Structure 1
């Protein structure tokens, strides 16, 4: 997707280096102007956002987009209230004028605001640089090579029995220069990558069709992720391959074609109670919706409501509410290498970290920014502020939220061996969740029946129903760290006007006991 103030450019321009001297000059113009106008605080973000999207279907390329968005966003506190303004004019006078506008907005807001903004203290860090640890910059990979990869993927799927296949490649580079009146000048170069695809198998006699999406994860890595290191593959029960820090999309496409074809003859699941063995490729979405979002402090406080609701996890539950069984430990983390949310500093200049959200099943914390920290009695921000563009104001966004692996040695095979009647579930599919993040249901790309400790057959049309605390309290086992894998959401929406962010969720395969499963069977399609 293209953001406002974005222009299309030639692919070669994606490689143009950032102008560090200009960024410092523009930042200083904003900081000086803010002080002169009476602001008590100012931060400025000089952002260059590069995006390349390649879309294909079968043997043809349907679209190639190379886009750049560049400009300056200035946020201030004046008379105790926030103000924000932005400009795409990259000269000191224009930035100073935008800063003056931001101060005017803040002073106007102050007339209507209640309590003054309380910022958690933040020590300036001086000049620092951070870059996503990559081995091969995706922007430097020739377009022809990327197209060839997608064409090979499509052909492999068709040769394996797919009737239709659509594949896409998203390459993102955020070049972000942050400066603040606290004394920070932070230069970050953030890279993300995703290759999603969908294969379709059709029963030409009945017209019925089934699909299977790719099981590769979106990542905060370079192009090396797509170059298929065999040592990063895991063969799982049910003829499924999982991937760690590398991914072979051709191999996945072949499996997807065969599994989509198998879905056409797979029986529908029988509704009822099942012990669920859920792979991280499915569980990440359940974590995202039933843990990550409800522990965003702005939702908890009711400040965020129109975009996907608030949260049942009110502040009185902190420290006492049993979110899950004793095996359930959720951590927030913006430091994990290879994850979508990994950065050195957030968009308020706060150094990122890891912290507990749920410990041994008990809710212990939330996610907070600098102006929220005092609401939780914290002395510092959690470092989870983000804006998707220089032209949008930063606000509280979900960090990576992950279920920690089990401590006792436990493989997927051993977990399945202990299940008498169950389902083994892979891949995200359709889902729904209520406005309090309490009641939900989740489908899967692949479902396999388990009987007497063995995967016996592929089934279709199943979704599991949850009430958030009941579901996480049904956890009876979590595989160990050997099985821990990270998946995520590349375009997570929030806010009005809407912004998108990217966030990962890690887990090992997890067992949930006696969960209600419904049939989503339909007569056609």
Structure 2
């Protein structure tokens, strides 16, 4: 499923039926989510069956991932509950290198016999593949971690919160929107818990407990006399947090322009639904944008998607090498540009970092799905391209000997491969607020929230919309706008970056269902930034025919 299609479906009760079955698993009762699952000592014994079997059959390397994946999705519309989905998926995936070639197999029979048979199948696949392998797999060395564990630092486990409480919260938000002028509203709450155990012949036994949450809605206002309608999506960001994200235990709100509330490390869905209804009504009479050149002031919930598409994806090394060409394109950021050492990706204030350790982010884990301890590294420093995203069997291609720790599989049933870590824009170093930024703009547009987008097969030429648009005239907000989208190319856009607010404005956007690969897999990733200004960007009117 494409990312943009899922956003459209996420408010529908039937939306859960369209997700990959390997990701969802079997339907279970909500209380079954609280069952403890397999003991860690049993996991170690089962993993050793795979590792020992692989070595006895001639494999030079093996890893085993025992995974229990729990999902709870709640869907509502106006005053009705559309669907509540509780699922569990449990099994083991075994990856081996034999005769210099990868092999993979999986099973939901997590017994000694089932694991032995799956491992034998993985080794047989590797040996069969070796007949057409032209170059043996080269793995970067990795530290043996022994027996370690990591857990998302949550305050409240979503599995312990009654479904009725979650439903009541969504219906309360719906009612608040309707009371403030909305004609239609749907809302959804996605909650995920990945219980993952990794073991390898390198000597690591890693137990991890990962949590993610995403509240979202769509509010629609209708002008029946004019035959028009406008929709405003939620300003929430999916987070790597527990249910405390919803109830104010980590409350932190910022004041945005035009009466907007900006959320960081917490989310008030009722407050946002009220504002969404009022803004949707205001959009019905807002003027249509005049095409031309504008300075754009982009808030983090919007800019995150632009970062995702124009930085995160083009700097995936497998995409650079052409491995994604059939499914989702290649990249303009080719190896020759990186090797030159002076490729100008953006202006001198642009510093883009990859990070799998960022607290509260969707991508935060202690170790990746190859047992590599996660870290932060530079992708673009002072505007210059300095690195890519690469895993153990890729880093030798870019003359490095240490994996970046960004390998991931969506389930035990899928082979792990290179996935995007959190990719973020560093905040400005000097104290600088949103109000000060707007004050410095004579002719501009403030854009909040994500919207439709399009980007070419090399992640270069693009067009982005948004959720809410405000005209800036002579340093002041002059009212809402409609039909706004901006066009640029990746290098031109990032070189137009002229000012970044400081860390007090730093917030995260997230992609909860980011697709990649064949067969396609999904992952979750965050993108942080502060509000940022881009000068002299081409803005088009999406409501006018050409």
- Band of TM-score, shorter chain: over 0.9
Question: Is 1:7 aligned to 2:7, yes or no?
Answer: no
Counterpart in the other structure of 1:16: 35
Deviation at 1:342, TM superposition (A): 0.1
Which of 103, 125, 128 aligns to 2:145? It is: 125
Say which SS state the counterpart of residue 295 (structure 1) adopts: coil
3-state DSSP class of the match of 1:298?
Answer: helix
How far did residue 305 of structure 1 move? Answer: 1.2
Write the mapping of 1:162-311 to structure 2, written as runs, cut at 5 A: 162-228=182-248, 232-311=252-331
- Give runs of aligned pairs for residues 92-171 of structure 1, distance below 5 A: 92-171=112-191
Secondary structure, counterpart of 1:307 in structure 2: helix
Check if 1:392 corresponds to 2:414: yes
Q: Does 1:401 align with 2:419?
A: no
Pairwise CA distance, 1:239: 2.0
Q: Secondary structure at the match of 2:148?
A: strand
Distance in 2 between the 1:358 and 1:504 partners?
17
What CA deviation, in whole Å up to 9, does each residue of 1:34-82 have, x standing for no partner? Answer: 0111000000000000000100000000001100000000000000000
* CA distance in structure 2 between the partners assigned to 1:498 and 1:522 by the alignment: 36
Matched residues in 1 for 2:20 and 2:321: separation?
31
CA contact (8 A) 1:386 1:396 kept: yes
1:512 paired residue number:
534
Q: Structure 1: state its 5+ residue gaps.
A: none
2:326 counterpart SS class: coil
**1:22 CA drift (Å):** 2.3
Where does residue 442 of structure 1 map in the other structure? Answer: 464
Q: Structure 2: how far apart are the matches of 1:12 and 1:92?
A: 29
Contact 2:250–2:265 (8 Å) recurs in 1: no
How many Å separate the matches in 2 of 1:512 and 1:335?
28
Q: Note the C-alpha offset of 1:229.
A: 5.5
TM-score (norm 1): 0.99
- Alpha-carbon distance in structure 1 between the residues aligned to 2:180 and 2:516: 39
Aligned match of 1:418 in 432, 440, 459? 440
Give the match's secondary structure for 2:262. strand
- Indicate the residue corresponding to 2:475 in structure 1: 453
1:364 to 386, 393, 396: 386
**How far has the Cα of 1:231 moved from its partner?**
5.2
Q: Give SS of 1:429's match.
A: coil
**Root-mean-square deviation (Å):** 1.0
Match of 1:482 in 2: 504
Q: Give the TM-score normalised by the residue count of structure 2.
A: 0.95
Distance 1:147 1:408 in 2: 43
Whether contact under 8 Å (1:85, 1:102) holds in the other structure is yes
- Residue 431 of structure 1 aligns with which residue? 453
Give the whole-Å Cα distance in 2 for the aligned partners of 1:199 and 1:306: 36
Q: Secondary structure at the match of 2:332?
A: coil
The residue matched to 1:189 in structure 2 has which SS? strand
Deviation at 1:379? Answer: 1.3
* 2:251/2:267 contact within 8 Å kept: no
2:84 is equivalent to residue 84 of structure 1: no
Matched, 1:64 2:81: no
Q: Provide Cα deviations, 1:448-467, integer angstroms capped at 9, x if missing partner.
A: 00000001110010001010
* Cα distance, 1:99 vs structure 2: 0.4
- 1:383 correspondence with 2:402: no
After superposition, what is the alpha-carbon deviation per residue over 1:3-60, rounded to whole angstroms, capped at 9, x for unaligned?
3281100011111113223211210110010011100000000000000010000000
8 A Cα contact 1:229 1:247, kept in partner: no
Contact 1:336 1:342 in 2 (8 A): yes
Residue 522 (structure 1) shift:
5.8
Could you tell me how far apart the structure 2 residues matched to 1:384 and 1:516 are? 35
In 1, the alpha carbon distance for the partners of 2:372 and 2:274 equals 44
Q: Distance in 1 between matches of 2:155 and 2:308?
A: 29
Displacement over 6 Å in runs of 4+: none
Distance in 1 between residues matched to 2:20 and 2:166, nearest whole Å = 20
Query: Deviation at 1:230?
Result: 8.5
Cα distance in 1 for partners of 2:251, 2:412 equals 39
Q: 2:516–2:522: 8 Å Cα contact kept in structure 1? A: yes
**1:317 counterpart = 2:337:** yes
> Distance in 2 between the 1:335 and 1:466 partners?
31
The alignment of Structure 1 onto Structure 2 pairs a total of residues equal to 523
**Equivalents in 1 of 2:249, 2:180: separation in Å?**
22
Partners of 2:142 and 2:52 lie apart in 1 by 19
